[in-house]
Structure 1
Amino acid sequence: MFRHRYRLAKVATVAAALTVSLTLAACGGSGDTGSASGGSGSAGSSAAGEGQTLKLWHYEGENSAMAIAWNKAIETFKAEHPGVTVDVERKAFEQIQQNAGMILSSDEGPDIMEYNKGNATAGLLASQGLLTDLTEPAESRGWADKLSASLQTTARYDQRGVMGSGNWYGVPNYGEYVMVYYNKDAFAANGIQIPTTLPEFTTALDTFVAAGTTPICMAGAEYPAGQLWYQLALTQADRSFVDDYQLYKNPVDFQNGPTAKGAQMFADWVQKGYIAGDSASLKAEDMGTAFIGGKCPIMVSGSWWFGRLKDEITTFDWGTFLFPGSTLSLGSSGNLWVVPQASENKELAYDFIDITMRPEIQNLLGNSGGIPVAADPSAITDPKTAELIKNFNTISQNDGLAFYPDWPVPGFYDVLVAAFQSSINQSKTPAEVMDSIQGPYTEGVATIQAG
């Protein structure tokens, strides 16, 4: 599931195509049906929900770290709730995002669901009364104690649906961030060291271009282009900019400051050949498979790719490093477990969330390539994964998580995609690109603040 991730919630007709499902009779495939020990809220729960069905939706790929850990959590849930049927459906990300409002307003929705965090997604549904207030179970079941203040930002929303304060409407059990994936063999062949500053990074990109290689894998038809623009803007920004952009502390002028500088840098990178001009029509999957296939040596994207790269890259060595020249990185808690207000099995949903927060599930998530929020660091055995988690902890501890560019207002994902497609194909100047973004952003913020 590749964020895959950042199309904003729309109220649309429930599509007939929303039928992709897979009911897991014995999730995890490890052959171990053993019950897990401990876990708040689960003692004496084996008889709870007798004869009921817990309907769970998520959109993680089967080889992702999250799916691996959650499949094990489902095994544990079944063992502890032998009278409950668990119906798991794996949906396409776009399906849930485009239809969430209508789905959760009907009786066709799940009891628990993975959903995108942020003002324009979980915040929007919370403000519409479609999500259950989880404040009480978050406190009584200890979820709040396991999540740092920065990770709680995306779990809590005020009455307007603005994140960072108010009640709990979701619970994350992993973190995520954007980094630079790189082909170590290609770097070595061109005599390039890992860059630690932005000038060193652009020198490395120039070296690849001079050797006839387009260095950065890109996808203009989905989230990657907008995310790169935002990361470039963050190299010119501080925390006050993030607060203004994401939390509306002060108005944002897209023709000046970090946003404009990022747009100019993005256009320059296209013109210099760092990004292919024909990538405007490519999707995130195209970007990922190009990197996996060794067609380009650099991919700037999120930790959600990590597990897949571990599984599928077999022809070269690879690694990761933080984007040079910035103390701020795209990132946040991971997606949220939300409980629809219409759920008929809320206590069972809370029991499942409990299980996903247990050390054994968190450790499995970490060793499968994810970023756990409550794991034992000494239990993470893979060196690449340990580095992944270490870098995330560095960002989080330094208050460097800057969230994502499409979060501020509903519908902004589509705005960003169209804007940076026009930058890649050079049909608009950077100023024109920023002008196309300014209006929807300003109007969206005004609507939210008036609400």
Structure 2
Amino acid sequence: MAHQRSKRLLAGVAVLALPLALAACGGDSGGGDDQATSGATTFTIWDYENDDSAMGQAWAKAIEIFETEHPDVKVVTEDQTFEQIQKNAKIFLTGDDVPDIMEYNKGNATAGQLASQGLITSLTDVATERGWDTTLPASIQTTAKYDEQGLMGSGDWYGVPNYGEFVGVYYNQDAFDQLGIAVPTTFEEFEASLKAFKDAGITPLATAGAEYPMGQLWYELVLHYGDRQLVDDYQLFANDVDFQGDAFTQATNKLDEWIKAGYIASDSAALTAEDMGVSFIGGTYPMMVSGSWWFGRLVEEVPFTWGQFLFPGNDLHPGSSGNLWVVPENAKAKDLAYDFIDITLRPEVQEVLGQAGGLPVAGDSSTITDEKTRELTENFENILGDDGLAYYPDWPVPGFYDVIVSELQSLINQSKSPTEVLDGLSTAYFEGKTDLTEG
């Protein structure tokens, strides 16, 4: 049967009584109980994906399968926006009018907070029963687990991702061919290509200092000089991080060197991610270091021959799972939610993701017919195979995104030295870490 899709506005939920949040903290976190799950005739899904996106298409396939297997259940999907759910989740999840399953962002400041406050259901037992703990690669599982403090990477499962994302290098093949520059496969060749373009009067790297791209370029360099232990220390607080240590110092010095050499435009401190993308699409810059989320747009808009490669010389790359499916603690049909999650990991749904460039986490790139989409997915599979996802530089503590943007803008403008930038990052990082772990 056709499912119902509607739009619910959550802007007014803030008028709910805030003390309700306290009532959720002692909730059952078993995840496998039968209370309020059997005999449900309605199953409600909240998500914020566009229907035409890879995820939207995959969810539609999952719903189709779900309806076939649960003919007596009415599926209701309610469109939200990322901002609505991000702002209001902690309030609306304390009530009884909650979805049975919900798309939510991963990380300490998002899913971790809901988990620590008892607002979403522990899925650990279900993950074992259904085999999700063996289906999903280790670095994907990291974003699904949160401890009692809501810190990512250990503890119980509180969400399940079924697609991924990563940062790599997009390049203008025509520009490379025009100057006879080979597409780089090593870090040394990458730097040589930067110099060759600059020597020809072309600024090689499209980036943006006013938003996330510059921070991700910096983090690529940190990962180039670092290792998995550094990622665990930085992202998961396994050990203290030394921002004046080798990896952070070498990376920040190298970025400073590239800025001084003119590999990055002097006005990029004020540019947004959209500015960066438009300039690459327009052919102004021959390379852009950014995420797989640009892929679909580049396919549609780029007028030249282009390609993609992983950041040369790196075993680790910025990236993660996509958003999580979480099950509210007050959901009335948890068993149906578990069935739906299971369906999203099946080959036929993962294949829909793959064909549309959605980076399936349990798919097979060999089934993808489009060459560029298959290349994108193979790059992601190579990262997963090497346990190479290293998450994003702003993830460790709330508010760190703005600090990274500001400090790297200062580096672009040459108003701060690399040492001063690292001091600024270190101060904010450790203050945020203290708030999370001791607050």
TM interval, short-chain normalised? 0.7 to 0.9
Displacement after TM superposition at 1:368 (Å):
1.0
Distance 1:16 1:421 in 2: 37
Report the counterpart of residue 108 of structure 2 in structure 1: 119
The equivalences for 1:16-95 within 5 A come to: 49-50=40-41, 52=42, 54-58=44-48, 60-81=49-70, 83-91=73-81, 93-95=82-84
Residue 261 in 1 paired to residue 250 in 2? yes
Report the counterpart of residue 169 of structure 1 in structure 2: 158
Contact map agreement 1:78 1:86 (CA 8 A) in 2 = no
Contact map agreement 2:137 2:384 (CA 8 A) in 1 = no
* Runs (5+) with no aligned partner, structure 2: 1-9, 15-31, 33-37
Displacement after TM superposition at 1:241 (Å):
1.2
Displacement after TM superposition at 1:100 (Å):
4.0
Displacement after TM superposition at 1:182 (Å):
0.9
Report the counterpart of residue 222 of structure 1 in structure 2: 211
Distance 1:99 1:265 in 2: 41
Residue 348 in 1 paired to residue 339 in 2? no
**Alpha carbons of structure 1 residues 97 and 412: separation in structure 2 relative to 1, 3 Å:** farther
Report the counterpart of residue 17 of structure 2 in structure 1: none
Report the counterpart of residue 135 of structure 1 in structure 2: 124
Report the counterpart of residue 194 of structure 2 in structure 1: 205
Displacement after TM superposition at 1:359 (Å):
0.9
Pairwise CA RMSD = 2.6
Distance 1:128 1:343 in 2: 15
Distance 1:164 1:255 in 2: 25
One-letter amino acid matched to 1:158: D
Contact map agreement 2:368 2:374 (CA 8 A) in 1 = yes
**Alpha carbons of structure 1 residues 305 and 446: separation in structure 2 relative to 1, 3 Å:** same
Report the counterpart of residue 28 of structure 2 in structure 1: none
Displacement after TM superposition at 1:78 (Å):
4.3
Residues 265-284 of structure 1: per-residue CA shift (max 9 Å, x gap): 22222222222222223322
Contact map agreement 2:13 2:91 (CA 8 A) in 1 = no
Distance 1:61 1:258 in 2: 39
Residue 403 (structure 1) aligned to one of 391, 399, 407 = 391
Report the counterpart of residue 363 of structure 2 in structure 1: 375
**Alpha carbons of structure 1 residues 88 and 435: separation in structure 2 relative to 1, 3 Å:** same
One-letter amino acid matched to 1:49: A
Displacement after TM superposition at 1:361 (Å):
0.8
Distance 1:157 1:251 in 2: 19
**Alpha carbons of structure 1 residues 48 and 80: separation in structure 2 relative to 1, 3 Å:** farther
One-letter amino acid matched to 2:380: F
Distance 2:360 2:288 in 1: 23
Distance 1:194 1:337 in 2: 38
Residue 429 in 1 paired to residue 420 in 2? no
Contact map agreement 1:65 1:307 (CA 8 A) in 2 = no
Distance 2:168 2:53 in 1: 17
Distance 2:400 2:111 in 1: 14
Displacement after TM superposition at 1:300 (Å):
0.8
Other structure's SS at 1:86 match: strand
Residue 286 in 1 paired to residue 275 in 2? yes
One-letter amino acid matched to 1:149: A
Distance 1:182 1:63 in 2: 26
Report the counterpart of residue 350 of structure 2 in structure 1: 362
Distance 1:145 1:449 in 2: 30
Give the count of matched residue pairs: 407
Residue 413 in 1 paired to residue 404 in 2? no
One-letter amino acid matched to 1:56: W
One-letter amino acid matched to 1:403: Y
The equivalences for 1:214-363 within 5 A come to: 214-313=203-302, 315-363=303-351
Other structure's SS at 1:176 match: strand
TM-score (norm 1): 0.82
Contact map agreement 1:121 1:410 (CA 8 A) in 2 = no
Displacement after TM superposition at 1:76 (Å):
3.5
Distance 1:163 1:305 in 2: 26
Contact map agreement 2:13 2:92 (CA 8 A) in 1 = no
Report the counterpart of residue 101 of structure 1 in structure 2: 90
Distance 2:246 2:55 in 1: 37
Distance 1:183 1:94 in 2: 34
Displacement after TM superposition at 1:54 (Å):
0.8
Bigger radius of gyration among the two: 2
Report the counterpart of residue 28 of structure 1 in structure 2: none
Residues 19-65 of structure 1: per-residue CA shift (max 9 Å, x gap): xxxxxxxxxxxxxxxxxxxxxx9xxxxx9632x3514122x445432
Distance 1:95 1:270 in 2: 38
Contact map agreement 1:54 1:348 (CA 8 A) in 2 = no
Distance 2:174 2:374 in 1: 21
Residues 332-377 of structure 1: per-residue CA shift (max 9 Å, x gap): 2222112233434433332322221111110111111122122234
Distance 2:88 2:409 in 1: 25
Other structure's SS at 2:110 match: helix
Other structure's SS at 1:301 match: strand
**Identity percentage of aligned residues:** 58
Structure 1 stretch 96-105 or stretch 332-341: which is displaced more? 96-105
